Amino acid sequence: MSSFLDFGERWVVVTGASSGLGRACAQELSAHGARVLLVGRDRSTLASTRDTLTGTGHETLALDLQNLEAIASEVARIAQDLGRLYGLCHAAGMVETGPLAAMTPETVRKMMTVNVLSGLELARAVARRNVMDPEGGSLLFVSSVYGIVGAAGQSAYSASKGAVTAAVRSLSIELARRRIRVNAISPGLVMTPMTETALAALSREQVAAIEQRHPLGLGTPADVARAAVFLLAPATRWITGIDLVVDGGYCAQ
């Protein structure tokens, strides 16, 4: 018997697939029978991710998501080769931490472009009638607990992630008539290479304080990826418009 989370070789686009949450989501999706289109800026790191996936036939697409004008045409082009797409997991993101006084319009603009605008453009491209499976599909945006709670130095990042979860609610209503589900997932602090680098600059006491705010401890990319697979899977057909918090209890306090 196959798992109820089986994707039956449906195509799922995963952004930010070179490392971190994007790579973990791609790995978990492939383990549940999805064929994965890996999207990132660097071909060599995408190829490295592809080598870790379960099964065969996965593809890569080198694409800079800050180039919004190129997204729709690239997705349409590759869909002609691969066939109809089923889903999107937008895990790519950008974060700049700093006080309000240090925030510049250009910094905020870059975060909004990658975290919000590129996701909306990807959703538009994947959900096109000549691209998506006519039976419907599933779109998932990786947001953050910082879109829900406040934190010093995260005002612009929080604004971008709050925009993501707000957009998800409206998209879920708009696309429901075509059987396209739209959800978000909001992770707490997850131990990715980027996180480890950031924590290395802190004292042991500061790291301990952060860990204490997560009652179940810090998360791993796999913790988020498994939740992502659940929301994306064809079997969870009656779940749409939600923001699933996966944070080890951070927001429960």
The Cβ of residue 72 has, within 10 Å, a number of other Cβ atoms equal to 16
Cβ 189 vs Cβ 218: under 8 Å:
yes
- Mark residue 84 as left, alpha or beta (left: phi above 0; alpha: psi -120 to 50; beta: remaining): beta
Looking at residue 190, the DSSP 8-state letter turns out to be B
Catalytic residue among 86, 146, 157, 250: 157
Half-sphere exposure of 50 toward its Cβ, with a 13 Å CA cutoff?
A: 20
Q: What are phi and psi of 181, to 5 degrees?
A: -90, 145
Which residue carries 């909306």 as its tokens? 120
The residues, ordered by sequence, that sit 6+ positions from 218 with a Cβ below 8 Å of its Cβ are 188, 189, 190, 191, 210, 211, 248
86 is catalytic: no
Sheet with 87-90, side-by-side order of all strands:
59-62, 35-40, 11-15, 87-90, 137-142, 180-187, 243-246
Q: Which residues are catalytic?
A: 157
